[in-house]
Structures are given as C-alpha cells and as structure tokens.
A and B are shown apart, each in its own frame.
Chain A
Amino acid sequence: MITPTTHLFTAGETLHDDILNRGIRDVYDFLQEPPQFVMRQTTAQSFLNSTWTDVTNWTVDKDNDNFRSAGGAGITISTSGFYTFTYGIGFANVNSAADTTGFRVVGLVIHGFYQGNHYSRPSLTAGMWWADIGAVYGCYMTAGDTVFFRARQSSGVTLNSKVDQVQAHWSGHWISQ
C-alpha cells in the first residue's frame, strides 16, 4: 500500500480528476482502512522449556497490505509508519507442578532485537488456570522490516499453546506516517 500524498492547491489552478482522486479520494480511502492485520492461532503449537519460539500456525482473519506475503511465522511491513501491535498467548495446563513453575513471556523481535517483552507468573494451582499473557507495543516501522512474535516458558517441560477458549493472537495497525 502506498501512503497517499495530499495535494497543495495553488491560485488559479484548474481542478482535474487526477488531482481530486490522488489528492483527496486516495487519502480518505487510506485513512478509512490503513494497513492492518489480524491473526489467531487455531492449531496448537509446542513450546520447549526455556526456549524462545516463533509463534506460528496462524489463521489470518485480515491482511490488507501483504503482511504475510513472505509466509513463515512473521510479518513483513510494506508501508512505513508508526504501528501498534497487540499480541498474546495462553499455555495449556499439563495438570502437574509444571503448571505453577517458572514464568511465561511474550515479546516481539524487531530489527533483530527483542522489544516490548512482557513476563507473567503462571497459575498458583496446577490445572486450575491457563497461563495467559498479552501485551501492546508501539514502534516506527520501515517498509521491508520484519517482525516476529515469540513466546517462552520455563515450566520445566514442553507446553502446548491453548487454542480453545484462549487463542494466541497477533494484530498490527498502521496509525501514523
């Protein structure tokens, strides 16, 4: 998607279709539906103990700017600008002490670095509550940048993500030039 450029009107200028379409219509079309994606995980994924893992198995509900054009786990930015990302995951219980052990963390890998990490403790009672953690992060992105949503857990055993009642989710939204 191309960020539209507004038109600077000048005295005595004759308005023609290109000016009105590019300088006005395209701007409002863009603002009505700026680049955005919405994804959720519908197939469970295994997360090894103490290992950062790309969250994947995405079902894409919306992608109007080829965010997922490269496939894989991450997204690619096509339109530069400031974005907000919302991301979260729930880990399924294994009904043992692992449910109450260690921590759960989510983060984004942007420009090769972890950013916006959020940590959480799991449930205090085995099998009782899922360890569900979410975060919001805002960042300026340049066309061509890639972003990965990663999760990590230190329960001592492999844990699966939960895909019923709680689903891993990841969305992004262009909010400014």
Chain B
Amino acid sequence: MSNPAPPRWVEPYAPHAWTDKEIPDYDTLNLYLRDYSDYLLQPPMCKVHATTVQAISNAYWWQVNFGAEDFDNDSMWDQSGIITIHTAGYYVGNASICYATGQTGGGTGYRWQTLYSSRDGGDIASSGEWAETSGYTKRLGVVFGPIRLDKGNYILLRAYQNSGYALNTNATDLEFASDFYCKWIGPA
C-alpha cells in the first residue's frame, strides 16, 4: 500500500438520522460527519501500470500483470495482476494493454481484452478488434463500471490474441505501459 488507508467506513452504509433536540457526542460527530467526509474525499482507489515486457501466447487467455502502483490506498494490488476488493461497493475504472511494435504477427489476427470479476465468475467488460499493422503500438482499452464488488472479490485484466505467434507487450514507459485503475463510487 503506497498511500494512507481510507478512513473507516461503516458497513452496511447506515447514516445517522438526527432527532429533535439530540445533542450528539463527539464520537457520533466523528463517525457520521468527519469519517464519512474523509472517506468521500479519498475513497478506495487503485492505479497500477506494467514495468516489464510480458509475452502473450498465441490463442490463449493471459492474465495481464503490472509491476508498479501509482496509487493504492486500500491494499488492492497483489504485486502481480490481481486487484482484490477490501471495501464493498460499486466501482468504475479502465484497463488497457499495449503490444510492442514490429513483431512477427503484429499485423495479423484478433486482439481481445476482457475484465474478469470473481463476484460474477466471468468477464464483465470487453473490447476487441482486428490487428492492422505491426508498425505502431496501440493501446487497447476496456472501460468498466459501475460494477458491484464485495469484500474479498477480485478483478483482473485478461488478454487474447491469435496472430499465430507469441506477442510481447510494450512496457518501456508510461507512454506505452499497460495499466489499470478502479475507484469506489458508492456503497453496495
């Protein structure tokens, strides 16, 4: 975890209903005003990107791995490609993969990217297109959400290509690094 943990969040979400002539004590004020406010100012969020080249075999689904976190305030990233949810809720985000240029097979076949959710037990967002040329690096993205994820669920990016050859990703820098980010937007 590279960032401070998010403030405490009462699950299930149950805001306090103030009553007439109620004199709230400091703990009530902190729990239902301060902590919720802190939480909304910095809800659980994770942003990671690839730092090393990864080979994607021909006609085989691969989990896309990442090597560094730019932001992770809820210990979601597992140091590889799995993002585990510790705070239930609805999440939005996007993920992408970049293949390297000039590879044999780089201009052939199909490219498919999906986001897998353990809560749903399958892919919940995807994109795909035909390869057209191996002469440039193309970022292939998947935008997702809002999707419901419970505590302990995980999500990951999977990639598939059928160029006839193994294809390497491009991870030279942020310009061409595969990446992933998600953000909590509301309670489950």
Query: Contact residues of A with B, CB < 8 Å?
Result: 3-4, 6-13, 23-24, 27-28, 30-31, 82, 103, 105, 107, 113-121, 135-136, 138-140, 175-177
Q: Which residues does chain B contribute within 8 Å of A177, judged by CB atoms?
A: 41-42
A176 and B45 within 8 A (CB):
yes
- Which residues from 67 to 92 on chain B have a C-beta closer than 8 Å to any C-beta of chain A? 70-71
Contact A7:B34 (CB < 8 A) given known A114-B175, A115-B174, A140-B71 = yes
A82 and B71 within 8 A (CB):
yes
Contact A121:B132 (CB < 8 A) given known A24-B37, A138-B47 = yes
The complex places the Cα of A138 from the Cα of B145 at a distance, in Å, of 15
B34 and A119 within 8 A (CB):
no
The complex places the Cα of A78 from the Cα of B49 at a distance, in Å, of 25
A-B contact pairs, 13 of them (CB 8 A): A9-B27, A9-B33, A23-B34, A28-B37, A31-B41, A82-B45, A115-B174, A117-B137, A118-B138, A135-B139, A138-B181, A175-B183, A176-B183
Distance between A145 CB and nearest chain B CB, rounded to angstroms: 14
Q: Which residue of A lies closest to B44 (CB)?
A: A176
Distance between B73 CB and nearest chain A CB, rounded to angstroms: 8
- Which residues from 133 to 155 on chain B have a C-beta closer than 8 Å to any C-beta of chain A? 133, 136-139, 141, 143
Distance between A10 CB and nearest chain B CB, rounded to angstroms: 6
Q: Which residues does chain B contribute within 8 Å of A113, judged by CB atoms?
A: 173-175
Q: Which residues does chain B contribute within 8 Å of A139, judged by CB atoms?
A: 47, 70
| B94 adjacent to chain A (CB < 8 Å) | yes
Contact A6:B175 (CB < 8 A) given known A31-B41, A136-B143 = no
A31 and B40 within 8 A (CB):
yes
The complex places the Cα of A121 from the Cα of B138 at a distance, in Å, of 10
The complex places the Cα of A136 from the Cα of B179 at a distance, in Å, of 11
A119 and B139 within 8 A (CB):
yes
Contact with A103, one of B34, B37, B136, B176 (Cβ below 8 angstroms): B136
B141 and A118 within 8 A (CB):
yes
B26 and A11 within 8 A (CB):
yes
A121 and B30 within 8 A (CB):
no
The complex places the Cα of A98 from the Cα of B132 at a distance, in Å, of 17
How many residues of B are in contact with the other chain, CB < 8 A? 34
A24 and B41 within 8 A (CB):
no
Interface of B is mostly: mixed
A10 and B42 within 8 A (CB):
no
Q: Which residue of A lies closest to B137 (CB)?
A: A119
Q: Which residue of B lies closest to A115 (CB)?
A: B174
Q: Which residues does chain A contribute within 8 Å of B106, judged by CB atoms?
A: none
The complex places the Cα of A175 from the Cα of B181 at a distance, in Å, of 12
Q: Which residues does chain A contribute within 8 Å of B139, judged by CB atoms?
A: 116-119, 135
Distance between B87 CB and nearest chain A CB, rounded to angstroms: 13
B45 and A9 within 8 A (CB):
no
- Which residues from 24 to 50 on chain B have a C-beta closer than 8 Å to any C-beta of chain A? 25-27, 29-30, 33-34, 37-38, 40-43, 45, 47
Q: Which residue of B lies closest to A136 (CB)?
A: B94
Q: Which residue of B lies closest to A105 (CB)?
A: B136
The complex places the Cα of A8 from the Cα of B94 at a distance, in Å, of 35
Q: Which residues does chain B contribute within 8 Å of A135, judged by CB atoms?
A: 139, 141
B42 and A176 within 8 A (CB):
yes
The complex places the Cα of A120 from the Cα of B137 at a distance, in Å, of 10
The complex places the Cα of A111 from the Cα of B106 at a distance, in Å, of 31
Q: Which residues does chain A contribute within 8 Å of B26, judged by CB atoms?
A: 9-13
